[in-house]
Amino acid sequence: MTVPNGSAHAKVNGLEMYYETHGTAPDGTRPLVLLHGGGLTVDLTFSALLPALAADRRVVAPELQGHGRTADTGRALTVPGLASDVVALLDELGIGQADLLGFSLGGLTALEIAVRHPERVGRLALAATMYTQEGVHDDVRVPDYGSPRLPSQDDFRRMADAYAAVAPRPEHFQDFLAKVSAAAHAPLPWTADDLRGLRAPTLLLLGDNDFVRVEHAAEMQRLIPDARLAVLPATTHMALMQRSSLLLPLLGEFFA
């Protein structure tokens, strides 16, 4: 487990939203906000990257609605709702603009912030992120649990163990997973013109055996002005954020 400098809960949009802070940076340096994947926690998503990312800058890492230490509410779990929560957290922390790194559901959340609140985003890194559901492989859109693209039983066990260790209501894990799955498969609110209108420098990251089709990521690269695309070899969705030897040089150069 990566130990944060500090942690707290912020009251945002009816949530008691947990967040961690890591590292320090000179005044005037944009913080980096990390947005974890669906069903995961900060540590499960970013433990392989956090020490290096926080070595010379401030990192803020929240846990989204219902995830980790942030208790769920009766509110539907939606990408626009999650994005609104993160923007409200930035307001609460007095952060006018930040760089964003989002993975999977966290990537969808980061993209929604960049589209709806472009002034809040400095640089944008989207890992395993699509802009329409048609960008996802068929065996993920209609889950085929024999597919090597999908989380393994060991992956689900790690999610369950992490949830049981920190969640305010650990007995709700199966209901929580169903809610996350519904959010991840819901129609997405963007058009090609939304991507063409993005102004934040953007890095797209993908595994070659990921949920998202490589062809779709290449389409996103063409639509987003001056976007960069990196496809990591021999990498599934769940392995993507653990490939620190490949990711850290890419992220270090991009966020420098």
Q: How far apart are CA 227 and CA 124, in angstroms?
A: 10
Q: How far apart are CA 240 and CA 205, in angstroms?
A: 8
Which strand ranges, in their side-by-side order, compose the sheet holding 121-127?
Answer: 6-12, 15-22, 59-62, 32-35, 98-103, 121-127, 202-209, 228-236
Task: Report the run of H or E that residue 229 belongs to, with start and end.
Answer: strand 228-236
Find residue 20's DSSP bridge partners: 7, 61
Per the listing, tokens 């760089």 go with: 99
Q: How far apart are CA 69 and CA 81, in angstroms?
A: 18
Q: Contact at 8 Å (CB) between 107 and 86? A: no
**pLDDT confidence band for 210 (50 / 70 / 90):** very high
pLDDT tens sequence across 50-59: 999 999 899 9
Q: How far apart are CA 183 and CA 79, in angstroms?
A: 7
Minimum mean pLDDT range among 97-106, 122-131, 136-145, 162-171: 136-145
Give the per-residue pLDDT at 27: 73
**pLDDT confidence band for 1 (50 / 70 / 90):** low
Give the per-residue pLDDT at 146: 79
Q: Is the pLDDT of residue 3 over 80?
A: no
Q: What is the mean pLDDT of residues 25-52?
A: 93
Find residue 61's DSSP bridge partners: 20
Instruction: Give the total residue count for the chain.
Output: 256
Q: In 3-state terms, what secondary structure has residue 67?
A: coil
Give the per-residue pLDDT at 83: 98
Percent of the chain with pLDDT over 70: 99
Tally Cβ neighbours within 10 Å of residue 134.
11
Task: Report the run of H or E that residue 59 belongs to, with start and end.
Answer: strand 59-62
Percent of the chain with pLDDT over 90: 90
Give the per-residue pLDDT at 241: 98
**pLDDT confidence band for 142 (50 / 70 / 90):** confident
Give the per-residue pLDDT at 229: 98
Residue 253's nearest CA partner among 80, 104, 144, 123 is 123
pLDDT tens sequence across 74-132: 899 999 999 999 999 999 999 999 999 999 999 999 999 999 999 999 999 999 999 99
Q: Contact at 8 Å (CB) between 163 and 179? A: no
Q: Is the pLDDT of residue 143 over 90?
A: no
Task: Return all residues near 5 (Cβ < 8 A) that are at least 6 apart.
Answer: 20, 21, 22, 23, 24
Task: Report the run of H or E that residue 182 belongs to, with start and end.
Answer: helix 173-185
Q: Contact at 8 Å (CB) between 26 and 67? A: no
Task: Return all residues near 92 (Cβ < 8 A) that are at least 6 apart.
Answer: 10, 11, 12
pTM of the model: 0.96
